[in-house]
Amino acid sequence: MAIETEKLVYVVEDSVSSGALYCSYLEQAGYQTRHFTDGHSALLGIKEQVPDVLLQDVCLPDISGLEVMRFAKERSDIPVIIITANSSIEIAVDAMRLGGFDFIEKPFSKDRLMTSVKSACEQIRAEQTKQLNQPRSVASSGKPKTVRDHFVGDSVEMASVFQLLESAARSKASVFVTGESGTGKEVCAQALHNASARAAGPFIAINCAAIPSELFESEIFGHEKGAFSGAVSQRIGAAEQANGGTLFLDEICEMDLNLQAKLLRFLQTASFQRVGGQKLMHSDIRIVCATNRDPASDVAEGRFREDLYYRLNVIPVQLPPLRARGNDVVVLAQYFLREKSAANSKHFERFTPEAELIIKKYSWPGNIRELQNVLEKIVVLHDSDKVDESMLSSLNDNIIPLRNNNTVSSAAIDSRNNLQSPQSGIQGFQNIRPLWQIEKEAIESAIAQCDGNIPLAAACLGVSASTIYRKIKAWESGQH
């Protein structure tokens, strides 16, 4: 507690009584405080002395709380905790995207306030420790550890992802990761945790699609002995296990609506009860969630709570599919080849040029996970110093082979797409159908076979549901 007693917290709250109450809570815990009732006086106070933590109401009588936050951030990258009412949650979310540390909704409890301020101070200490140790880490490894070090590849498509994650790592803001299956959403969450001030804390991952609905609440919040049939002992839930760290909720859109309400309350209050328990528990966690569906569509269709979506989608991260990452696919393939070869005591070192070409041209509907599985199978079944074209025959059968400096052979087109070339004797090109029509028919057929279930159809086609929704909207508007 010795370090915390030295921390100076500015409380910017236009309500005299509320501000005084927050200050009294903080002073009881050993913090120094100053209370400002308007934005301009807060600006003067910050100019005079920058605090360690800023507790900032977004709605002030003179200027926006965001202006005060920006002013403080320009002078020192201090953690800013946003205070907001329900009517201004969107403003609070914007503040988080601008670099806010956390936001709490009125009315909030003393415990919720103290948990957030304590977490902010822990981040300060972690960053100070990191700075003290940085020269040693730079000397030993060449550079400090970052989010980027957890990924393989450096495509332009991933650059914005890295930048967003680096910014997110410095706050407690919830991160919502979207992308097709196999694009590395859990790797993204783990990288975010490891690069944050919570790296020393636990990283707990839960797959929401793999847990039966009747056991979900127990899995997240735990249960007491005898809480239900089969509860023969007390269970500590994921929210409690992740205290001081990160809770990763994969396939969040599969969560039952009833539990969504309880998760929302936990995010708002940082408190929960075990199933069958009476004691109110508190946990300081950072939430990272992920889905391969389109969460906005689920919200629009009533399958996902809108208020929870806004709570979780503070920092949205969209992971690109492997086919959109350019030469990263070859870099990843080389990385996995070395990894799988070493694990299986084999001698693979490289790919032939023909094999590399196949890897580049294959669409990889299963993304990085499919690439890993393909290479592991090759390493297990063969033993050589290189991967050649024959070892990738299963992929080669599903792409149009390239000939003569990347031109497509007409024979391949005839056999694979059942389209006749102009040289085959047909007058004109009337038998060649537009690609968008073929795509539209394929998507409509998949949706029909899946009884109208678009997410299921998307999974069968190897694309994201958001892609199908976007194409349907384009067709309805007359665009191709």
Q: Where are the domains of the chain?
A: 4-127, 151-320, 323-399, 435-476
3-state secondary structure the chain: CCCHHHCEEEEECCCHHHHHHHHHHHHHCCCEEEEECCHHHHHHHHHHCCCCEEEEECCCCCCCHHHHHHHHHHHCCCCEEEEECHHHHHHHHHHHHCCCCEEEECCCCHHHHHHHHHHHHHHHHHHHHHHHHHHHHHHHHCCCCCHHHHCCCCCHHHHHHHHHHHHHCCCCCCEEEECCCCCCHHHHHHHHHHCCCCCCCCEEEEEHHHCCHHHHHHHHHCECCCCCCCCCCCECCHHHHCCCCEEEEECHHHCCHHHHHHHHHHHHHCEECCECCCCCEECCCEEEEEECCCHHHHHHCCCCCHHHHHHHCCEEEECCCHHHCCCHHHHHHHHHHHHHHHHCCCCCCEECHHHHHHHHHCCCCCHHHHHHHHHHHHHHHCCCCEECHHHHHHHHCCCCCEECCCEECHHHHHHHHCCCCHHHCCCCCCCCCCHHHHHHHHHHHHHHHCCCCHHHHHHHHCCCHHHHHHHHHHHHCCCC
Q: Is residue 87 predicted with pLDDT exceeding 80? A: no
105-120 pLDDT tens trace: 888 889 889 989 988 8
Q: Minimal CA–CA distance to 168: which of 100, 248, 68?
A: 100
Flag whether pLDDT at 381 surpasses 50.
yes
Q: What is the pLDDT of residues 273-305, one digit of tens each?
A: 999 999 999 899 999 999 999 998 999 989 999
Q: 464 vs 198, 253, 369, CA distance in Å?
A: 31, 14, 15
Find the range with the poorest average confidence among 68-72, 160-164, 304-308, 400-404: 400-404
C-alpha pair distances (Å), 23 with each of 31, 61, 72, 109, 334: 9, 20, 19, 13, 57
Integer Cα distance of 233 and 255 in angstroms: 25
- Locate tokens 């550890």: which residue? 145
Compute the Cα dihedral for 372, 374, 378, 384 and give only its sign.
negative
Reported as a single tens digit per residue, the pLDDT across 340-351 is 999 999 999 999
Say yes or no to pLDDT of 2 above 50.
no
Strand pairing class (281-282; 286-291): unpaired
Biggest alpha carbon–alpha carbon distance for the chain: 90
> pLDDT band at residue 452, thresholds of 50, 70 and 90?
confident
Residue range 4-127 in CATH 3.40.50.2300: yes
- Tokens encoding 432: 């060649």
Average pLDDT of span 357-385: 92
Spatial distance between the Cα atoms of 134 and 189, rounded to a whole number of angstroms: 23
What amino acid is encoded at 132 in this protein?
A: L
Which residues contact residue 445 at a Cβ distance below 8 angstroms, ignoring those fewer than 6 apart?
none
CA distance 463 to 454: 11
* Structure confidence at residue 395 (pLDDT): 81
Model confidence over 143-171: pLDDT tens digits? 446 788 889 988 988 988 998 898 888 88
pLDDT for 50: 92
Query: Which class is domain 151-320?
Result: alpha beta
CA distance 304 to 315: 18
> For residue 145, what pLDDT is reported?
62
| Equal CATH topology for 4-127 and 151-320 | yes
Contact residues for 320 (Cβ-Cβ < 8 A; gap 6+) = 157, 158, 161, 179, 183
Under the banding of pLDDT at 50, 70 and 90, the label for residue 269 is: confident
Q: Is the pLDDT of residue 436 over 90?
A: no
Residues 244/233, Cβ–Cβ less than 8 Å: no
Q: In the CATH scheme, what architecture does the domain 323-399 have?
A: Orthogonal Bundle (1.10)
* Separation between Cα atoms, residue 313 and residue 301, nearest integer Å: 17
Of 178, 188, 30, the closest CA to residue 117 belongs to: 30
Between strands 286-291 and 175-178, the pairing is parallel
How many residues are recorded in the chain?
480
All residues at 6 or more sequence positions from 440 whose CB lies less than 8 Å from its CB, including other chains = 471, 475
pLDDT(203) > 70: yes
Q: Could you say which of 1.10.287, 1.20.120, 1.10.3470, 1.10.10 is the CATH number of the domain covering 435-476?
A: 1.10.10
Alpha carbon distance 69, 74 (integer Å): 9
Instruction: Round the average pLDDT of the chain to a whole number and report it.
Output: 84
Per-residue pLDDT band for 223 (boundaries 50, 70, 90) equals: very high
Task: Output the six-digit token pair for 396.
Answer: 């080669």
Contact 146, 166 (CB under 8 A): yes
Give the pLDDT of residue 419. 38
Report d(CA 460, CA 458) in Å as an integer.
5
Which pLDDT value is given to residue 441? 86
pLDDT at position 48: 92
| pLDDT attached to residue 470 | 74
Question: What is the torsional sign of CA 20, 23, 25, 28?
Answer: negative
Average pLDDT over residues 375-400: 85
